[in-house]
Amino acid sequence: MVHLAKVKKDSELPSARQFDSIPPIETNDADTNVYGTHFAVDHMPQHEMPEREMPRQIAARMIKDELSLDGNPKLNLASFVTTYMEEEIEEIMTDSFSKNFIDYEEYPHSAEIQNRCVNMIARLFNIPTDAASENAMGTSTIGSSEAIMLGTLAMKKRWQNKRKAEGKDFSRPNIIMNSAVQVCWEKAARYFDIEEKYVFCTDTRFVIDPQQAVDLVDENTIGICAILGTTYTGEYEDVKAINDLLVERNIDCPIHVDAASGGFVAPFTDPNLVWDFRLEKVVSINVSGHKYGLVYPGVGWVIWRAVEYLPQELVFNINYLGADQASFTLNFSKGASHVIGQYYQFIRLGKHGYRAIMTNLTRISDFMASEFEKLGMVILSQTQGRGLPLVAWRLPTDPNRVYDEFALAHQLRERGWVVPAYTMAPHSEKMKMMRIVIREDFSMNRCDSLIQDFKLAIDTLDAMDKNMMAKYRVHMKNHRNQPRHQSLIHRHYLEEKHSLQGKDGKTHGVC
C-alpha cells in the first residue's frame, strides 16, 4: 500500500548545519569523479526542489547509494510480492515503460495481451464457457487492492439495484468477512460506506466459520468475502461450505473470493479443491499477478462470472485518444509493462511450469515446517499443498522463557532476515505468531541458511537473563521509533479508532 506522507512546516525543517573543515577543492562537476564533486558533501534535497540541475550520473549515484541502505528484497520473507523474473522479460518490460496502457488506439497489441490474460485466468478458475452461459468479464488492475475495490463496488451496486426494483431501502449495505482480512477490505468498506460484519477468529480457528458467516446474512448484505490464503496463516477458507449453506437455505447472497495469494497456487497444488466458479454463488474473484502470478509489483486481476454481476452503470463507454473503449477502473493511466510481464509468464511457464514451481515451494515450506517443529515451534499453517507455501508458527508455551516472538524477529533482522512477528486478529489478538513466505527465488539452499540463523537466534535469546532481556527490549523499542520512522505517521492519524487495528490492536500483515 502507499504510505501517507506528511508535508513539513518551515518550523519543522532542520536548520542548516555548519561545520568547520578544510575548504573544498575547485572542481569541474562534469569531469570529476562523483565523490570528488561538491554534491558528495552537500546534504541531499529533502523538502524543496533545488534551483539548479545536477549531472545525471551524480543524481543516479546519489539515489543508488541511498537505496542501497534498504533491505534486500530476497531476504524479506514478510512479503508475498515477487522478487525474481527472468532477464528476457525484464528487458521487454523496460522497453514498455513508456506505454500508457489506457491508450488502446496507440497500443492495441498491449490491450490484446490483457484480453488473453483475462481469458486464461478465467478458464484457470473454471469459468462457465458453454454456449448457454453468458460471457464472463474481467480486467487488469494495479493490484488486488484495486481489484477488491472494484469487486466490492459491483456487489454493492447490484444489491442497490435489486433493492430499488423492489421499492426497498438501499441505504444500509453490509458485507461479511473474516476478522483476519487484509486491510484493503476494511478500506473498501470504509471508502464505499458499507458496514463491516465480522466473523471473528478464535484461539484455535483463524479462518471464517461458514455457518457463522451465513447466519450473519440479512437483507442488507451485499456479499460474503472468502479468502483463498489468509495473510496470517496462509489457510484456505472453505468457500464450498459457504456456498452449500447459501444454496441449502435458498439465500440470494453472492460470494467474492479474495484469491490474491492462492489463486495462482491452489489450481496447481490442489486442483481438486472446489473454491472457484464451479460454485454457483461465487460471482467474482480477484488475484494478484505480482504475488504467486510471478510478476513484479504491481498487477492484479478481477473476473466476474457474467455481465449481470458487473452492473452497466459502473462501466464507462468512452472515446479516448481516438478509440472507443469500456472502462471500469479506479485509476486511468498505468503502464503496460506488468500486463505484458504476466503474459510472458503464462506462455513461458504454462501450467506445467507453474505446477513445478508451486510444488517446489510447497516442498520447501513443508521441510521448513518440519524443522521448526523439531525445535519445538507450534506450527499454525497447513502443509502438503492444503494452504499457501508459507510457514506460520508461534513459540511453545513456556512461563520461564524471557523473550517473545517480537524479540526473535528482531534477532533475525540483525542477521539480515526480515521475518515478521504479529499479534493475531481480534478475539485472538493476545496470541503472537511469526510467518515466513516461501517465494519462487527461495531455494532449499537459502532455506538451510535461514534455519541455521534461526537456531543461532534462539541460542542467543536463550542465553539472555531477565535483566539483559529488559535492556534488549529497550533497544528494540528505540530501534523501531527512530525519528525517520516516526515521520511516517502524522499525530493527527495516530489515534484513529475506525479500523480493526485502531479498535483491537490487530497487526496488519504485509501483503
Q: Which three cell numbers stand for residue 140?
A: 487488469
Q: Which three cell numbers stand for residue 32?
A: 570529476
Cα–Cα distance measured from residue 283 to residue 246, given in angstroms and rounded to the nearest whole number: 13
Cell 511450469 belongs to 353
Just give the CATH number of 91-344.
3.40.640.10
Architecture of domain 362-481+494-504: Alpha-Beta Complex (3.90)
Rounded to 10 deg, the angle between the 87-95 and 337-374 helix axes is: 140
Least confident window among 8-17, 121-130, 306-315, 489-498? 489-498
pLDDT tier for residue 496 given thresholds of 50, 70 and 90: low
- Percent of the chain that is helix, strand, coil (3-state, to 5): 40, 15, 45
Look at residue 402 and tell me whether its pLDDT is greater than 80: yes
Task: Give the pLDDT mean for 11-16.
Answer: 70
Q: Which three cell numbers stand for residue 364?
A: 520447501
Cα–Cα distance measured from residue 286 to residue 273, given in angstroms and rounded to the nearest whole number: 17
Look at residue 494 and tell me whether its pLDDT is greater than 70: no
Give the pLDDT confidence score for residue 9 in this predicted structure.
Answer: 76
Give the pLDDT confidence score for residue 6 in this predicted structure.
Answer: 76
Coil, helix or strand at residue 94 = helix
Look at residue 195 and tell me whether its pLDDT is greater than 60: yes
Cell 490484446 belongs to 112
| Model pTM score | 0.88
Give the pLDDT confidence score for residue 192 in this predicted structure.
Answer: 96
CB 255 within 8 A of CB 282: yes
Q: What percent of the chain has pLDDT over 70?
A: 87
Cα–Cα distance measured from residue 455 to residue 464, given in angstroms and rounded to the nearest whole number: 15
List Cβ neighbours of 332 (8 Å cut-off, separation of 6 or more).
Answer: 102
pLDDT in tens, 268-321: 999 999 999 999 999 999 999 999 999 999 899 999 999 999 998 888 876 655
Q: Which three cell numbers stand for residue 314?
A: 459502473
Query: What is the amino acid identity at position 354?
Result: Y
pLDDT tier for residue 16 given thresholds of 50, 70 and 90: low
Least confident window among 74-88, 361-375, 433-447, 453-467? 453-467
Cα–Cα distance measured from residue 511 to residue 493, given in angstroms and rounded to the nearest whole number: 22
Cα–Cα distance measured from residue 390 to residue 80, given in angstroms and rounded to the nearest whole number: 9
Question: Secondary structure of 229-265 in the HEC alphabet?
Answer: CCCCCCEECCHHHHHHHHHHCCCCCCEEEECCCCCCC
Task: Give the pLDDT mean for 437-461.
Answer: 96
H or E element that contains 215: helix 210-215
137-141 β-sheet, strand order: 137-141, 300-304, 282-288, 255-258, 221-227, 174-178, 195-199
Sign of CA dihedral 99, 104, 105, 108: positive
Cα–Cα distance measured from residue 357 to residue 440, given in angstroms and rounded to the nearest whole number: 7
Given the DSSP bridges, would you call strands 378-379 and 390-394 parallel, antiparallel or unpaired?
antiparallel
Rounded to 10 deg, the angle between the 405-414 and 444-462 helix axes is: 120
Cα–Cα distance measured from residue 107 to residue 444, given in angstroms and rounded to the nearest whole number: 42
Look at residue 483 and tell me whether its pLDDT is greater than 50: no
CB 139 within 8 A of CB 118: yes
Rounded to 10 deg, the angle between the 444-462 and 337-374 helix axes is: 50
Q: According to the per-residue pLDDT averaged within each range, which of 97-106, 446-455, 484-493 is highest?
A: 446-455
Give the pLDDT confidence score for residue 229 in this predicted structure.
Answer: 97
Least confident window among 97-111, 112-126, 157-171, 400-414? 97-111
Give the pLDDT confidence score for residue 316 in this predicted structure.
Answer: 80
Q: Which three cell numbers stand for residue 451?
A: 534455519
Q: What percent of the chain has pLDDT over 90?
A: 64
Task: Give the pLDDT mean for 388-415.
Answer: 94
Give the pLDDT confidence score for residue 248 in this predicted structure.
Answer: 98
Q: Count H helices, E strands: the chain?
A: 14, 13
Give the pLDDT confidence score for residue 320 in this predicted structure.
Answer: 58
Higher pLDDT, 454 or 23: 454
Cα–Cα distance measured from residue 338 to residue 343, given in angstroms and rounded to the nearest whole number: 9
DSSP bridge partners of 141 = 300
Q: What is the average pLDDT value for the chain, to the nearest integer?
A: 89
Domain ranges within the chain, ordered by starting residue: 91-344, 362-481+494-504
Look at residue 37 and tell me whether its pLDDT is greater than 90: no
Q: Which alpha helices (H) appear in 265-336, and where do they start and end?
A: 266-269
Of 230, 243, 293, 266, the residue nearest 386 (C-alpha): 266
Q: Diameter of the chain by CA atoms?
A: 84
pLDDT tier for residue 11 given thresholds of 50, 70 and 90: confident
Q: Do 91-344 and 362-481+494-504 come out as alike in CATH topology?
A: no
CB 287 within 8 A of CB 138: no
Look at residue 387 and tell me whether its pLDDT is greater than 70: yes
